[in-house]
């Protein structure tokens, strides 16, 4: 069971939100090559990155998810490209995910890459009375690394983002 966040933790996360908006605004006009320098999620190199671990995606064993926020096919090891469909919505999707669904004969339950990473590497608290959200600790929705994701109660998540 996960404890509620303290008022100090909530305030700390809220302070990061302003910085996140500034960070996300910098992504708006970057090219694909420039984005690759910002986050390994955009980097389509085939080799593993330093410290990278791959696990089978729980919902479909034909995909693997990295602790650094990358996704690839299990058989070919092809890294799947990620995009922010809405350009500055602030979260990454798998590009051409509908084609991936057809190839794998599978319908994604998790639309965002951060949800895939959390489902693969994090344990969701089992408190039956709470609704759990996945929070980006640094409030950067492009940073889908395992250590940047945390399950928080919906109430705490609302306090972080909206006071």
pLDDT tens figures, 55-85: 999 889 999 999 999 999 999 998 888 888 6
In a domain, 1, yes or no: no
Return left, alpha or beta for 79; rule: phi > 0 is left, psi -120 to 50 is alpha, else beta: beta
pLDDT at 138: 87
Shortest CA distance to 156 belongs to which of 19, 2, 21, 16? 2
Helix residue ranges, H only, 28-141: 32-38, 97-104, 113-121
Average pLDDT, the chain: 79
pLDDT in tens, 7-31: 777 666 655 554 444 555 555 566 6
In a domain, 2, yes or no: no
Q: For residue 151, what are the domain limits?
A: 7-162
pTM assigned to the model: 0.74
Shortest CA distance to 81 belongs to which of 73, 90, 71? 71
In a domain, 80, yes or no: yes
pLDDT in tens, 84-124: 866 556 788 888 888 888 888 888 876 799 999 999 999 98
The CATH number covering residue 94 comes to: 3.90.75.20
Q: Which two tokens stand for residue 115?
A: 């949800």
Report the domain count for the chain.
Answer: 1
């Amino acid at each position: 069971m996960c404890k509620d966040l303290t008022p100090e933790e909530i305030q700390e996360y809220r302070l990061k939100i302003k910085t996140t908006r500034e960070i996300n605004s910098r992504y708006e006009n970057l090219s694909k090559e420039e984005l690759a320098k910002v986050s390994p999620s955009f980097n389509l190199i085939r080799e593993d990155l330093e410290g990278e671990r791959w696990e089978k995606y729980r919902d479909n064993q034909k995909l693997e998810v990295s602790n650094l926020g990358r996704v690839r096919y299990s058989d070919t090891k092809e890294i799947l490209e990620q995009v922010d469909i809405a350009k500055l919505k602030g979260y990454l999707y798998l590009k051409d995910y509908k084609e991936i669904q057809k190839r794998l004969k599978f319908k994604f339950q998790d639309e965002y890459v951060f949800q895939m990473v959390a489902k693969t590497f994090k344990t969701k608290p089992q408190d039956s009375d709470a609704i759990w959200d996945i929070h980006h600790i640094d409030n950067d929705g492009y940073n889908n690394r395992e250590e940047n994701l945390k399950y928080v109660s919906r109430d705490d998540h609302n306090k972080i983002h909206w006071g």
